[in-house]
Amino acid sequence: MSSNISKLLSRRGIDHSLLEAFHHHQKSPASSRERLIKKLAKEHQIGEAQVAASFSFYDHLDSAGDPRELALCNGTACLCADPDNRLLAALKKRHGKEVTERVSCLGHCYAAHAYLDRGQPCSGDPAPSREPEITNTISDELVRSNLKEPLLTTTPLSIEQTAELITRITTQAPYDLLDQILTSKLRGCGGAGFPTGVKWESCMRVKSTTKFIICNADEGDPGAFSDRYLLESQPLRVLTGMMLAGRVIGATTGLIYLRDEYPHASTTLQKAISDLRAAALLGKGINGGEFDFEIKVILGAGAYICGEETALIASIEGRRPEVAVRPPYPTQSGLYGYPTVVNNVETFAATTAILETSGEEYARLGSTQSTGTKLISLSSLFNQPGIVEVEMGTPLDDLLYQWGDGFSQPVKAIQVGGPLGGVIRTDQTTSLTLDFESFAEHGFVLGHGGIVAIPESMPMNRFIHHLFGFVAEESCGKCFPCRLGSKRGEEMFQHALDGSPLNPQLLDDLLLTLEQGSLCGLGGGIPLPIRNILQQFSDELPWTEGRER
C-alpha cells in the first residue's frame, strides 16, 4: 500500500509536495480543515484519509490552526538544568499566565532554560523588565577543538574555496571520489556509525535513472546541537558534501530535511544555496560539465521520529511518517521508490573535509575502527558548555574535565547520545574513550555525541519517567511494543513518583518486550539507558521485594 501511495505522490514532485502544502495551510482555521483535506486529496489524487492521517501526525500543525506563541523546551538538558521549574515561574510572571505548551528540544542545551517566545527560540531566565534573549547562533566562544588543525570547526568555507572543491567533484571520476571515502573509513555521525563509503557504493551500484541524496537535518536528540552549529556556521561544508555524494551515486537532486525548530538554520542554508546558484555552482552543467545537481530545503513539522530514515522519507513524500520494515533499504528503494542515500549533517560535512585533504589523511586520525573526528555537544551544567571537536579515541575524562572544565554543580552521571543513549556514573568514566568500540564494549552507545550532565539533585525516578515519557510522546505508533510499552513505562514511574513501589519483574518484562519487539531504535533503544540506571542507581528506586540491589 505505501509503495502505491509513494508513486501517486511522486507525480507532483518535490516542488509541490504534500508536506509543503501542509506548511502553507498551517494557519488555516479549524473550521476549514475538512475542506482543506478534500482539496489536497483531490490535488494529489490520494484518499482523504491518507491526507488527514499525515496532517494530524505533526506537533506543529496544530489542530486549531494557531501557532504556539509561548512554549517550554521539554528536552533532557533543560530538565536537568532546571529541575525546580524556575523558568516556568519566570515565564508566568512575565506573561501573567500559566505556560502549558511544550516544544521539542530547541538545540540550546548549552544555555538550557530554552523556550519559544512569539515563535522565536530563546534561552536564559526571562526578566519581566527586558525583552527575551533570542539566540540565533552558537557563538565562537562556545566552539573549540582538541586538534591542531580542526576539520569541522575551522574557518567557514568561502564561495571561492567551495568552487575549487566543486571543481574536484566535477572533474574526478565517481569511483575515484568513492575510493577516498572508503579509504577514510568514515562512519555515519548520526548515531548508528554505519560505514559511509559502503552505503554510497551500495546505492551507486543500483541501476536507476533517478536517485536522491537526503541530508537528515532533523536533529531531535535532546542534548545535541552539533548539526545546528554546522547548518548555521558551516553550511557550505554540508552542501559540498551533498554534491560529492550526488556525484558518486549519480543523483541530481539533494534534499535537506530540516527540523522546524531551527529557523535560523533555514535562513543560512537558503542564503548558501543562493550563493552557490549565483556562482553557477548549482543547477545544470556545473562547471560546464555533465554534472547536474539541485538542492532544496524541506521543513519538518515537529516529529522526532522523522530522524529515522524511513519515517523521514515518508514525511517528504507526504505519507504519515511511520517507520518502515527493512529491507528494502533506502539505497535500493527510498524516496518515491528510487535509490536514495540518507546521511546526517555532520557526515556530509566530514566528507567535505576528506575532499579537502584525502581519505588517507582522514584515516590517520582516530582509532582503527573509528577514524576522524567527532563533534561533541556539552550541556549547560559544564563549566565550559558548547561544541568540542575531538579526535576519535580521545579519553572521555579529557573531554569532561579539560575541554568541558568539569561541572558547575555536583553531578552524579552523564547521558551520552540522546534519550536512547547510555547513562554513565561520573566515577565510571575513566576507562572510556570517545569511539564506537569503547562505548559498545562497556555497554553504552556514542550515538550523536550529545552529553547531558545529570545533577545530584535529580531523582532517577523522575529521570526514567522523563525518558519513558519522551518515547511515548514521540513514538510513531506503528508497532504495539513501542506505542503501548512506553506509555505503560511512563505510568509505572508516575506511580513510583507518587509513592508506589516498583515491581521488578514487571519492569524487566516491559524492557524485554520493548527491546525485542519494537520496529525501530526508538522503542528498541530506550531499555539501554533505563537498564544502565537500574544497574548503577538501584538504591534510589522504590522496589517491592524480590530485586537484588
Determine the pLDDT at residue 62: 59
* CB-CB contact of 246 with 170 (8 Å): no
Whether pLDDT at 435 is above 50: yes
Residue 414: which of 76, 42, 40, 24 has the closest Cα? 76
Does the pLDDT at position 1 exceed 70?
A: no
Query: Quick count: other Cβ atoms within 10 Å of Cβ 395?
Result: 17
pLDDT at 3: 73
- How does pLDDT run across 303-327, given as a tens digit for each residue? 899 999 999 999 999 999 999 988 9
Find all residues with CB under 8 Å of 406, minimum gap 6, and list them. 382, 383, 400
Return the domain boundaries, the chain. Answer: 70-135, 143-363, 373-455, 460-540
For the chain, give the longest Cα–Cα distance. Answer: 75
Q: Residue 473: pLDDT band by 50, 70, 90 thresholds?
A: very high
What pLDDT shows up at residue 506? Answer: 95
- pLDDT at residue 65 greater than cutoff 70: no
Average pLDDT, the chain: 91
Chain segment 445-468, per-residue pLDDT in tens:
998 899 999 999 999 999 999 999
Three-state DSSP class for residue 137: coil
pLDDT of 61: 78
DSSP label of 72 = E
**Single-letter residue type at 446:** L
Reading across the β-sheet that carries 115-117, which strands appear in turn?
102-103, 70-73, 115-117, 120-122
Rg (CA), the chain: 23
Q: Is the pLDDT of residue 262 over 70?
A: yes
Handedness of CA 490, 494, 496, 497 (dihedral sign): positive
> Closest Cα to residue 477, out of 322, 267, 327?
322
Please tell me whether the overall predicted TM-score, pTM, comes out greater than 0.75 for this model.
Answer: yes
Residue 249 confidence (pLDDT): 98
Please give the single-letter amino acid code of residue 18: L
Which of these CATH numbers, 1.10.275.10, 3.40.50.720, 3.60.20.10, 3.40.50.11540, describes 143-363?
A: 3.40.50.11540
Confidence (pLDDT) at 27: 63
pLDDT at 64 over 50: no
Q: Is a pLDDT exceeding 60 seen at residue 55?
A: yes
Instruction: Find out whether 392 and 434 touch, Cβ atoms under 8 Å.
Output: yes
Does domain 373-455 bear CATH number 3.10.20.600?
Answer: yes
Check pLDDT > 50 for residue 436.
yes
The pLDDT assigned to 130 comes to: 62
pLDDT of residue 548: 52
Q: How many CB atoms lie within 10 A of CB 460?
A: 21
* pLDDT tens readout for residues 394-414: 999 999 999 999 999 999 999
Residue 87 has pLDDT above 70, yes or no: yes
Task: Inform me whether the pLDDT recorded for 124 exceeds 80.
Answer: no
Residue with cell 571515502: 181
Grid coordinates representing 541 are 528506586
Question: How many percent of the chain have pLDDT more than 90?
Answer: 71
Residue 12: pLDDT band with limits 50, 70, 90: confident
Instruction: Please report the pLDDT score of residue 63 as a whole number.
Output: 47
Q: Which has the higher per-residue pLDDT, 234 or 287? A: 234
- pLDDT tens digits, one per residue of 135-190: 677 888 999 999 999 999 999 999 999 999 999 999 999 999 999 999 999 999 98
- Does residue 255 contact residue 306 with C-beta atoms inside 8 Å? no
Share of the chain above pLDDT 70, in %: 95
Section 275-297 average pLDDT: 94
pLDDT tens, 340-377? 999 999 999 999 999 999 999 999 999 889 999 999 99
Q: Please, what CATH class does the domain formed by 460-540 belong to? A: mainly alpha
Q: How confident is the model at residue 75 (pLDDT cuts 50, 70, 90)?
A: very high
Instruction: Identify the three-state secondary structure at position 59.
Output: coil
H helical segments located in 372-479 = 396-398, 436-441, 460-474
The pLDDT value given to residue 546:
53
Evaluate if residue 265 carries a pLDDT over 70.
yes
**278 sits in which H/E element:** helix 263-278
